[in-house]
Amino acid sequence: MTPIRKIIFLLTDIICISFSLVAAIWLKFDKLDPQHIHYLLMMIPILIPVCIISFWAMGLYNRTLRFTSIADMVAVFTAVTGCSMLKLSSVYFLESFPYLSAVFIIDWMLSLILIGSSRIAPRIILNMAELTPVRNWLFNKTNESPKRVLIVGAGQGGESVLREIKRNFNLPISVVGLVDDDPKKLGQIIHGCPVLGNCEQTDNIVRNHRVDELIIAIPSASGNELRRIVKLCQNSRVRFKTLPGLQDLIGGKLVSLQLRDIAIEDLLRRPPAEINLAEIAAYITGKTVLVTGAGGSIGSEICKQILPFQPSILLLLGHGENSIYSSQQRLAKSPELGNTVLIPIIADIQDRVKIGQIFKAHTPQIVFHAAAHKHVPMMEINPEEAIKNNVIGTRNLVDAAHENKIERFVMISTDKAVNPTSVMGTTKRVAEKILKGYAKRSSTRFVAVRFGNVLGSRGSVIPLFKQQIEDGGPITITHPKMIRYFMTIPEASKLVIQAGAYGKGGEVFILDMGDPVRIVDLAEDLIRLAGLEVGKDIEIRFTGIRPGEKLFEELLTASEGITATRNSKIFIARPEEVNEKELCEMVDKLETAAREGKRHKIIKLLQTIVPSFSPNRDMVHGDNVSKETRENSGEHPRLRVIQS
């Protein structure tokens, strides 16, 4: 409340205090005798300062009138009651005036009505202005017509959003109503807005009320529920916004009116990953942790998730200086940094000597290995680079970890390593084998964590689709039956860190990826979320399977089974026997072939190490890559067609 408004309300309270006492005496005695006037002239100058001080102490002059609430009315009630008690006690000092308790009851009631009304009247006036076209004239600072909004969810989330919209008069938003599947709420009016129907009727309501935007205010809604709501409005061409998920609400991240566009991550929303904080803290707190690929999507998120457990030193290793610098700056600003020391390191994991020097200089105790070449078609064209980075780079790190007797080494693998049809997937499978070989004879606990695609990572389909939508289309998809497993980057990173606590050496951990998702469905959902129509505004074009791709990915080979862990989303693949001596010889040959650029030999060696590898025919028949492969549009010869 501004100083001017404080003065106005202070004067108003003085008038109310004086008037209520005068009116109470007059109402009781039907007149004002000289005795009454004498009492008033003597007591009002004393009572007014006492009451004003009492009101000030209760904070009545520090409250925002636009947001007057029940708590404010309780404060008014307490302050007025206290002042009335003071007035009543004055009778005992004025025995010459026969006062009755009824006078003070009337005075208390009048004071409560008058002073309470002075607080709530401004809000009532503003709310009435909100419900009429006057609002547009009084509060809209722009000439644009208000956006017509429909809120999905008439529970606590919907009420909060609606209340905040009503409070923010400068927002060019007009709420036409709410929808909710609870039949008991149908027809109810919340903050002046009616509940117009259930979610099944959303599409008709959007059309009939000319809705421009839909706000889904159900923080606890699952991904399936959000997809259902979006599909119900697939023909209405409106934009969608939502509240943060339940996990963010629990974490205290929700602030007033924190709405955002619905992201594809919301449509794939799953229950929050169950993480045992005590287990993670036990092996990370106070340790020196090295993260390779710390500038990448997964690596930088692992760094972020590690910070709350307060490692003493966090080493950020990467080949790209810009990405490592950006990651360091983000982490340095984190409120969870605490006493952790951040050390950026620019190095290439292919440089064996440099990696050895880093391990000796910093003596890390925990390593999370996230550095890798992961782009499937790109590695089909450049298999020697996949070998040098994913295989030789991993061997350099594993060897340095073994020689320096670090405690744990956790490598990020991929579902593409299972029955691989790509060079990238096969190199990650070879890297898994290297870890298993060392685990047999090393004191270091070497483990790998295998999972599928992560939403929003660099090079993934979601950023590509978003860019294609911004460009006006078309969205390009390789095959209409292409399906993939997806996780969010934070969920994958948390489970990777948790898996590190379970590793005893040589395990391949598999993360529960949930249900697979058709890529076509993802594309269509993204188009609808942008308020556009599939096929009319944005076309979907199929370009053919790219080299190294499969229609679907697998998380286990035929010979592998799984063993449960204490976390319901983390499993252990059945151990695979590895002849370390033969493997080392083959990896040495791979390195030589890669250095010499002999692609045909690389493929043959990969097939020897990973017999289930089914390579692209161009790579099998020679070192020259065909035009179709270079354009990433060649059909893979070994497609396993599944039913949609």
Q: Which residues are catalytic?
A: 416
Residue 320, CB half-sphere, CA atoms under 13 Å: how many? Answer: 13
How far, CA to CA in Å, does 472 sit from each of 236, 466, 537, 539? 19, 10, 8, 9
Which residues does 321 contact at the CB level (< 8 Å), separation at least 6?
Answer: 346
H-state helical runs in 414-488: 423-439, 461-470
* Residue whose structure tokens are 């722009």: 142
Rounded to an integer, what distance in angstroms lies between the CA atom of residue 158 and that of residue 529? 20
Burial 289-314 (b: 16+ CB within 10 A, else e): bbbbbbbbbbbbbbbbbbbbbbbebb
How far, CA to CA in Å, does 318 sit from each of 296, 321, 345? 8, 7, 6
Rounded to an integer, what distance in angstroms lies between the CA atom of residue 283 and that of residue 502? 10
C-alpha 389 chain-centroid distance: 32
CB 106 within 8 A of CB 28: yes
One DSSP character per residue, 326-390 reads: HHHHHHHT-TT-TTPEEEEEE--TT-HHHHHHHHHHH--SEEEE------HHHHHH-HHHHIIII
One DSSP character per residue, 113-126 reads: HHHHHHHHHHHHHH
* Residue whose structure tokens are 């005695």: 29
Sheet holding 147-152, edge to edge: 189-190, 193-197, 173-179, 147-152, 213-216, 239-242, 260-261
The letter for the amino acid at 39 is Y
Packing angle of the helix pair 423-439, 580-596 (nearest 10 deg) = 140
How far, CA to CA in Å, does 123 sit from each of 67, 75, 116, 495? 7, 17, 12, 49
Query: What's the start-to-end Cα distance of the chain, in Å?
Result: 62
Beta strand pairing call for 147-152 and 517-518 = unpaired
CB 223 within 8 A of CB 269: yes
